[in-house]
């Protein structure tokens, strides 16, 4: 009897994928087609963490477990697709909060087995890296290789994307990620969680030149990042004020604006070094939750223009964690496998809290 993968993977490169993302605090699912059509998607942004001022891993895992089934059922029902029209099931298998990754990937594997479909294990970072290649996401048709700035609450990396499954890590954070720094500074300023978007809004009211803050690693070789010292500097600045009462809004806005300017300058400096480390790239891209920050996006566009590079960033809703990027990554992987006459078999891959891009060879391929 043929394997489920041989019997269900098409001989052409047209696929429809059911995808699940559960690596942090967003429970998401999507149906994505290989022409870039997003047939249907559902997302639940967990509100359970607001009173804690940050993501609580155990609560996140329980929320995924509670909401995921209903979201998937609603998505399939509203899509008017039958399981015969779905070619594979994909899910984040890492990196991420391990409880959530276990819930999402286990649920997806159960769906795949029950419906006799192949399961595709997706690396969350790879999915972010490939998001800009979704057709119609912009007026630019993204070709390999390109340079990616991935910046989010858990990651800040410069990556040369040379092909599906082939990535060169040029530099990354040595302490806090940029999104983590945004959230922690926002919390210091008394802003609601999630802090990054709230800080960006407040910064629009402020004077970005009022406070001179340190720019960690600025001007040094390489393109590693460090934001812990900047976060500490804001804390030291606030020690001069009475934090038992709310800060005056003007003061808070000036601190927010000064912080946003400084962290952006640091990112641009490190990224400029990365641009000079690569050759022949087609464009500069960004992804991740912090890439939704309009102030940063505008400065990234200016940097790309300086080097005569096209610049692309996903729409705001696809910068943060989402299932559409998981589905698209699965499509890219399946198309590559089909071109190489390979069969994908990821059902045995275990969820992982850490999964560096350098270890993507763990994906199992068989000759078709």
- Give binding residues as ranges: 124, 128, 150-154, 183, 196, 200, 293, 321
Binding residue ranges for Fe cation: 124, 128, 321
Burial class of residue 295 in the structure, from the number of CB atoms within 10 Å of its CB (0-12 exposed, 13-18 middle, 19+ buried): middle
Going by C-alpha positions, the residue among 271, 323, 266, 263 that lies closest to residue 293 is 263
Residue ranges for the known binding site for substrate are 150-154, 183, 196, 200, 293
DSSP string, 314-356: --GGGTSS-HHHHHHHHHHHHHHHHHTTEEE--TTPPP-S---
CA–CA distance from 304 to each of 87, 128, 299, 301, 310 (Å)?
A: 38, 19, 9, 5, 6
Asked whether the beta carbons of 40 and 31 are under 8 A apart, the reply is yes
Whether a cis peptide bond, with omega within 30° of 0, leads into 194 is: yes
Pairing of strands 88-94, 119-123: parallel
Q: State how beta strands 284-287 and 119-123 pair.
A: unpaired
Residue 7 in 3-state DSSP? helix
- C-alpha gyration radius of the chain: 21
Q: DSSP readout, 115-166?
A: TT--EEEEEHHHHHHHGGGSTTSSSS---SSEEEEEESSS-EEEEEEEETTE
Does residue 295 contact residue 260 with C-beta atoms inside 8 Å?
yes
Helices 249-277 & 228-238, crossing angle to 10 degrees?
Answer: 160
The Cα 110–Cα 31 span in angstroms is 17
Span between the terminal Cα atoms of the chain, in Å: 14
Place of tokens 């997706």: 122
Q: How many CA atoms lie within 13 A of 311 on its CB side?
A: 17
């Amino acid at each position: 009897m043929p394997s489920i993968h041989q019997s269900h993977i098409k001989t052409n490169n047209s696929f429809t994928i059911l995808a699940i993302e559960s690596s942090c605090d967003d429970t998401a699912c999507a149906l994505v087609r290989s022409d870039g059509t997003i047939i249907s998607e559902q997302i639940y942004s967990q509100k359970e963490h607001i009173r804690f001022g940050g993501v609580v891993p155990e609560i996140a895992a329980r929320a995924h477990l509670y909401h995921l089934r209903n979201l998937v059922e609603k998505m399939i029902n509203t899509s008017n697709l039958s399981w015969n029209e779905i070619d594979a099931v994909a899910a984040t298998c890492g990196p991420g909060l391990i409880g959530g990754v276990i819930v999402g990937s286990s649920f997806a594997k159960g769906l795949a087995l029950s419906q006799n479909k192949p399961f595709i294990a997706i690396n969350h970072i790879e999915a972010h890296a490939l998001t800009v290649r979704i057709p119609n996401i912009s007026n630019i048709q993204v070709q390999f290789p390109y340079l990616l700035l991935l910046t989010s609450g858990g990651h800040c990396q410069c990556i040369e994307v040379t092909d599906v499954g082939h990535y060169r890590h040029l530099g990354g954070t040595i302490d806090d990620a940029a999104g983590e720094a945004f959230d922690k500074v926002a919390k210091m300023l008394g802003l609601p969680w999630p802090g990054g978007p709230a800080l960006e809004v407040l910064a629009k009211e402020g004077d970005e030149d009022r406070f001179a803050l340190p720019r960690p690693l600025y001007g040094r070789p390489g393109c590693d990042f460090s934001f812990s010292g900047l976060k500490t500097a804001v804390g030291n600045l606030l020690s001069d004020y009475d934090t038992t009462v709310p800060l005056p809004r003007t003061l808070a806005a000036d601190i927010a604006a000064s912080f946003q300017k400084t962290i952006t300058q640091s990112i641009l400096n490190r990224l400029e070094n990365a641009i000079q480390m690569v050759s022949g790239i087609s464009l500069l891209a960004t992804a991740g939750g912090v890439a939704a920050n309009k102030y940063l996006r505008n400065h990234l566009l200016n940097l790309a223009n300086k080097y005569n590079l096209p610049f692309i960033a996903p729409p705001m809703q696809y910068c943060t964690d989402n299932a559409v990027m998981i589905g698209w990554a699965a499509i890219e992987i399946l198309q590559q496998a089909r071109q190489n006459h390979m069969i994908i078999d990821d059902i045995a891959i275990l969820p992982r809290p850490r999964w560096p891009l350098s270890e993507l060879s763990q994906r199992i391929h068989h000759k078709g």
